[in-house]
């Protein structure tokens, strides 16, 4: 309990809320890395996942590649990429690592969302005269949205946790408190940094949980494709 009390005192210390290294700045850095990586992962994985889910082709290859991506050691990959691009472009190496980490969950959410749709609904949509693109855009994408958001939610949490590694290549973020705490044996700072990361993860998860509820609302009307007509 003394350690948690010390961590709370560290968090409330005015010195931690002033200057360039203030907590708010570190939170924004960490959140920035997370959102950038999540956005890039989504741009790569969602179209690919929709292609797999709509056509039913390439699923085994996607699963194999996703499994391989999950198995990559994040710190090792970050070190190799940073050495390859140089310290000056370490942000690029960190972004690549976080994107690689985020893609599997988003990809799985995208194609699983489409695969979970009742085929009778798809057939009914085609029977109304919809083209394949219209079936995907008007029926499959809305119905698959809840699982896609679930994939984004899982990816976001993994990225928030792994973005701690950005501090190891001089990029800051909340991981700097843990890194510095370990080096200086400053356990209050170390625990305070960990609590900030947990708090950020909880906030991100809550936002995406709300997005999931909205996605389920959006998906409901798409369950009746017969009301749509082809353009």
pLDDT digits (tens, 9 = 90+) for 202-211: 999 999 999 9
pTM, to two decimals? 0.88
Domain that residue 127 falls in:
2-7+23-226
Section 117-130 average pLDDT: 87
**Rounded-to-integer distance, Cα 88 and Cα 90, Å:** 6
Q: 226 pLDDT band (50/70/90 cuts)?
A: very low
pLDDT of residue 153: 94
Residue 56 lies in a domain: yes
Q: Choose between 102 and 70: higher pLDDT.
A: 102
Question: Can you tell me whether residue 172 is helix, strand or coil?
Answer: coil
Tokens describing residue 45: 């994985």
Is residue 14 assigned to a domain?
A: no
Residue 14 has pLDDT above 50, yes or no: yes
Number of domain units in the chain = 1
Give the model's pLDDT for residue 231.
45
Q: What percent of the chain has pLDDT over 90?
A: 49
Q: Chain centroid to CA 193: how far?
A: 20
Given a cut of 70, whether residue 89 has pLDDT beyond it is yes
Give the per-residue pLDDT at 65.
Answer: 80
The Cβ of residue 49 has, within 10 Å, a number of other Cβ atoms equal to 28
Mean pLDDT confidence for 146-169: 92
- 45 lies in a domain? yes
Q: What is the mean pLDDT of residues 215-222?
A: 75
d(Cα 111, Cα 122) in Å, to the nearest integer? 15
The answer to whether position 17 is within a domain reads: no
Is residue 15 one of the residues assigned to a domain? no
Residue whose C-alpha is closest to residue 141's, from 77, 67, 69, 54: 54
Q: Which of 27-36, 122-131, 149-158 has the lowest average pLDDT?
A: 122-131
Three-class secondary structure of residue 187 per DSSP: helix
Within a domain: 231: no
Check whether 166 has a pLDDT greater than 90: no
Q: Is residue 117 in some structural domain?
A: yes
**Mean pLDDT, the chain, integer:** 88
State how far the Cα of 132 lies from the Cα of 43, in Å rounded to an integer: 21
pLDDT 10s digits, 35-65: 999 999 999 999 999 999 888 888 888 878 8
Flag whether 219 is in a domain: yes
Which CATH number is 217's domain given?
1.10.3720.10
């Amino acid at each position: 309990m003394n350690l948690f009390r010390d961590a709370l005192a560290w968090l409330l210390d005015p010195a931690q809320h002033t200057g360039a290294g203030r907590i708010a700045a570190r939170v924004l850095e960490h959140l920035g890395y997370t959102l950038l990586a999540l956005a890039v992962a989504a741009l790569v994985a969602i179209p690919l996942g929709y292609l797999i889910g709509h056509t039913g082709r390439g699923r085994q290859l996607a699963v194999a590649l996703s499994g391989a991506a999950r198995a990559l050691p994040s710190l090792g990959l970050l070190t190799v990429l940073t050495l390859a691009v140089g310290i000056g472009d370490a942000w690029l190496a960190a972004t690549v690592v976080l994107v690689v980490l985020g893609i599997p969950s988003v990809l799985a959410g995208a194609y699983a969302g489409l695969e979970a749709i009742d085929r009778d609904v798809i057939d009914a949509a085609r029977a109304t005269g919809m083209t394949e693109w219209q079936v995907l855009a008007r029926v499959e994408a809305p119905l698959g949205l809840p699982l896609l958001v679930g994939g984004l939610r899982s990816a976001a949490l993994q990225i928030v946790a792994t973005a701690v590694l950005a501090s190891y290549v001089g990029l800051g973020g909340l991981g700097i408190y843990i890194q510095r705490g370990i080096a200086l044996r400053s356990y209050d700072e170390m625990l305070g940094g960990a609590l900030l990361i947990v708090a950020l993860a909880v906030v991100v998860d809550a936002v995406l949980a709300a997005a999931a509820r909205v996605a389920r609302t959006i998906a409901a009307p798409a369950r009746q494709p017969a009301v749509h007509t082809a353009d």
